[in-house]
Chains A and B, each alone.
Chain A
Amino acid sequence: MSTTAASKQAMGRYGEDVAERYLIEQGLAVLERNWRCAEGEIDLLLRDGTTLVACEVKTRYDDAFGTPHQAVTPEKLDRLKRLAARWITERGINPSGTRIDLVAIRRPRRGAAVVEHVRGLS
């Protein structure tokens, strides 16, 4: 099967939908989705109590090219932290704390998708 840019985007949107539903079920409130600036994008911005959560969503068919977890490199994590700081400045909010989360979704070609929520990458 060839993977086109369109199918990658579709996969990403699908994953973000699944993640959003899952996090709402976990009691988090969604503030914004796919916020973009010059430096990059945050997939989901949420509120967990009084803590701001910047959430990265990674969706994979399988672990052939590494796990979703391994896709969040230290550089990527640093960028997410900078993006979260920019978002706070832009929106003028004052959260009691900020956290970077990961939602890892494995969507095998057959069977149900597996969702894993990793709280607080650091």
Chain B
Amino acid sequence: MPVAMAHCVALSGAVGHLVDVQADVSPGQVGITLVGRVDPSLHEGRERVRMAIVNSELTWAATTKRVTVLLSPADLPKSGAHFDLAIAAAILAATGEVDPRSLQGTAFIGELALDGGLRSVAGVLPMVLAASKRGVRQVFVPEPQAREASMVPGVTVVGLRSLNQVVAALTGDEMPEAPEVPPLSAGRYLAWRGAARLDDVDMADLIGLDEIKYAVEVAAAGGHHLLIDGPKGCGKTSIAERIPTILPDLTGNESIELTAIRSLAGVLDPALGMATRPPFSAPHHDASKASVVGGGSGRVRPGELSLAHGGVLFLDEFPLFRTDVVEALREPLENGDITVARGEEAITLPARSMVVLAANPCACGNNVGQGRASCTCTQVQIRDYKKRLTGPIADRIDITRHLNPVSFTRDRLGRQENSATIRTRVAAARLRQAERYAEHDWRLNAHVPSAALRELWPMQPAAQAIVDAEIGGGRLTRRGAVKVHRLAWTLADLTGAEVPGESEARTALDLRLGHPLPSATVLMGRVG
């Protein structure tokens, strides 16, 4: 039979599309033609496939026949070396090396080396997810990625090392020996930071800091973004990296999305299985735009923003981040996803995280309180630094907190609440939100569109009047007022109030505008 078909998957961001790879082997002008919107990385695949077949001592049909490979749907852009295996399988079936019927219902994912060995590729999990949704029941993947592919239920995963092993698996012949396939390199996170380091931290490690702990609890409960400013050493980083410990487990969808993003980025550790805990991501302030929001050449690699999906993105020394990085954060802060445009493609990746920004009072970090005398910054430097804290990004931040240098006189010593206790309250507040928004696309207060908020979930009139007065006084923007409204709901969800009233509105305003909280509020939060 001169025509055969194998399945593969094209990736567009984290979304996979099933692709039919058809091969035709017929008499005619010899050679191989690849058609169906393929990019240069795939055109190179012709050479990899040819040498892999020849060096596997299988029949390479294009020495006496015309080989045409069609990838459809033809209007879908296709790129990536992972198509090699499907192309090789389709050609071998069309040549008669394997039965074309043996390819039915199977997707082939893998890059080929010249010796016929398979190579690992990034993004196997989202590919297998897409294939499974379209009814594919079996996938062939490079051996190191079999565990990753196995995370998708209902699909038989066959992990193999070489093209000859693939042929043997299809024909039912004895499996030949082949050298082991190297895994994709683990990302730098898994290499040195790992999930383990942050497993050991707990809010109880931090003495005092009641007010910021309360603010963080509110932020976690409603999914609000947070800005912390304070001098160096006051606990900004310690607080931020403990936020994931008070977040409940990821939902089913978040878990799949985050694991798929890690697979795309090539930092998935299959030994850990599906991601269940919220991630923490802290790019350095020198990071490029591509590394924070995603991008890169050839294939879009998810940025830190997406790797923090469902968890916390912490930008320490926020004013030192490059302007283009900061500007690129606007969209994800509002929408929960990021669109990366490259060439004629625009790829959207999920990026719904709690963003935590930290800033010093000035570039040297001393310009506050008693340490002010040792500040070495000029007035111009201080002004420039402060300027970067305001503006469009700060307006998209829900909660602003100023931290003072740690002082034992103000902070209460004694037993500290642990993360598990706080997490219980956060989970309860989130449950109330999930029930309220059951019929809608969003789950948390921070994500409720402003129109829906106004129409369906207004505050008590007296509470709204307090907020309106702040707008009238010029201290609050319209966007700010909506954020206060959302915050007020989160406060109500934490205390169990039916509808946000005056006290919730006042506390929400304080949180938003960076005013100190009355300690009664902090205590109420603890008890409620």
Q: Which residues of B contact A116 (CB under 8 A)?
A: 64
Asked if A72 contacts B30 (CB within 8 A), the reply is yes
Q: Give the residue name and chain of the B residue nearest to A104 (CB).
A: B64
Q: Which residues of A contact B65 (CB under 8 A)?
A: 69
Is B28 an interface residue when CB atoms closer than 8 A count as contact? yes
Is A77 an interface residue when CB atoms closer than 8 A count as contact? yes
Docked complex Cα distance between A70 and B60 (Å): 13
Is A49 an interface residue when CB atoms closer than 8 A count as contact? no
Is A98 an interface residue when CB atoms closer than 8 A count as contact? no
Is A10 an interface residue when CB atoms closer than 8 A count as contact? no
Asked if A74 contacts B29 (CB within 8 A), the reply is yes
Asked if B29 contacts A72 (CB within 8 A), the reply is yes
Is A40 an interface residue when CB atoms closer than 8 A count as contact? no
Is A119 an interface residue when CB atoms closer than 8 A count as contact? yes
Q: Which residues of A contact B27 (CB under 8 A)?
A: 118-120
How many Å from the CB of A54 to the closest CB on chain B? 14
Is A39 an interface residue when CB atoms closer than 8 A count as contact? no
Q: Which residues of B contact A67 (CB under 8 A)?
A: 30, 63-64
Is A63 an interface residue when CB atoms closer than 8 A count as contact? yes
Per-residue CB contact flags for chain B residues 9-45 toward chain A (1 = under 8 Å, else 0) read 0000000000000000001111000000000000000
Docked complex Cα distance between A122 and B29 (Å): 6
Q: Which residues of B contact A119 (CB under 8 A)?
A: 27
Q: Which residues of B contact A111 (CB under 8 A)?
A: none
Is A66 an interface residue when CB atoms closer than 8 A count as contact? yes
- Residue tally, chain B, CB below 8 Å to A: 7
Docked complex Cα distance between A104 and B64 (Å): 9
Docked complex Cα distance between A70 and B28 (Å): 10
Docked complex Cα distance between A67 and B30 (Å): 10
Docked complex Cα distance between A116 and B30 (Å): 14
Q: Which residues of B contact A77 (CB under 8 A)?
A: 29
In the complex, which of the residues A69, A74, A122 contacts B64, with contact meaning CB atoms closer than 8 Å? A69
* CB interface residues, A 81-122, toward B, < 8 Å: 104, 116, 118-122
Q: Which residues of B contact A63 (CB under 8 A)?
A: 63
Q: Give the residue name and chain of the B residue nearest to A101 (CB).
A: B27
Q: Give the residue name and chain of the B residue nearest to A77 (CB).
A: B29
Q: Which residues of B contact A120 (CB under 8 A)?
A: 27-28
Docked complex Cα distance between A67 and B27 (Å): 13
How many Å from the CB of B343 to the closest CB on chain A? 30
Docked complex Cα distance between A121 and B26 (Å): 10
Per-residue CB contact flags for chain B residues 254-282 toward chain A (1 = under 8 Å, else 0) read 00000000000000000000000000000
Q: Which residues of B contact A70 (CB under 8 A)?
A: 30, 63
Asked if A118 contacts B28 (CB within 8 A), the reply is yes
Docked complex Cα distance between A97 and B63 (Å): 28
Docked complex Cα distance between A66 and B29 (Å): 14
Residue pairs across A and B with Cβ atoms less than 8 A apart, 26 shown, are A63-B63, A66-B63, A67-B30, A67-B63, A67-B64, A69-B30, A69-B63, A69-B64, A69-B65, A70-B30, A70-B63, A72-B29, A72-B30, A74-B29, A77-B29, A104-B64, A116-B64, A118-B27, A118-B28, A119-B27, A120-B27, A120-B28, A121-B28, A121-B29, A122-B28, A122-B29
**16 more A-B residue pairs beyond the given contacts A120-B27, A121-B28, with a C-beta to C-beta distance below 8 A:** A63-B63, A66-B63, A67-B63, A67-B64, A69-B63, A70-B30, A72-B29, A72-B30, A74-B29, A77-B29, A104-B64, A116-B64, A118-B28, A121-B29, A122-B28, A122-B29
Q: Which 4 A-B pairs have the closest CB atoms?
A: A69-B30, A118-B27, A69-B64, A67-B63
